[in-house]
Amino acid sequence: MSNILEIENLTFGYTKERILIKDLSFSLLKGEIKAIVGASGAGKSTLFELILGNLKPLGGTIRAASLSQVFQDPYSSFHPSYTILNQIEDVAPLDELQHYLDEFSLEYEQLLKLPHQLSGGQLQRASILRAMLMKPDLLLLDEPTSALDNVIALEVMQMIVSHLDKMGMLLITHDTALASWCADETIFI
């Protein structure tokens, strides 16, 4: 099995005097979950920006397969003036839409609404649904359950984990119990 994410000797800082990530190396296989845990400001979200290619490292290499992501704040991940369905069909095929709607306890009619017309939990589930429909090799999850209550958060994480046969996942979380429960390895930065 080949790696869907390889990070070798990654170093990043907004200035050369303030290094945020130093010599970070790890790889991820399909079927694995690795959790990135650290204090606020430690560089967890910055790591995702580096993987996405939105930031350039000072050193090291990143190789990633096809990916999609789920942001911590679902309201910032959808354009406010387009329906949820428009924004999903712009990036993903809809052939498995009904399956995921059922799995995420969402109604098709909810996708016809604008983002502000859904609750934070509904919008976060729609964000995860969109990421899954993109059929990535690598799914980046930035605090994906922070907008959900505890019962729904557990259900959503169980559902996400049930798709490990199709992809690998990199999870940012402050929740060490969640990392211990679902991750094959926890990386502290």
**What is the per-residue pLDDT across 5-61, written as a single tens digit (0 to 9) for each?**
999 999 999 988 899 999 999 999 999 999 999 888 889 999 999 999 999 999 999
Which two structure tokens, joined as six digits, stand for 98? 């009904």
Domain count for the chain: 1
Residue 85 is which amino acid? L
State the average pLDDT for the chain: 93
pTM: 0.92
CATH no. for residue 42? 3.40.50.300
Those residues with Cβ within 8 angstroms of residue 153's Cβ, 6 or more apart along the chain or in another chain: 145
What are the C-alpha distances in Å from 6 to residues 85, 143, 167?
33, 21, 15
What is the domain range of residue 88? 3-188
Q: How many CB atoms lie within 10 A of CB 90?
A: 10
Residue 185 is which amino acid? E
pLDDT exceeds 80 at position 146: no
Those residues with Cβ within 8 angstroms of residue 74's Cβ, 6 or more apart along the chain or in another chain: 115, 120, 123, 124, 126, 127, 147
Which two structure tokens, joined as six digits, stand for 172? 């940012």
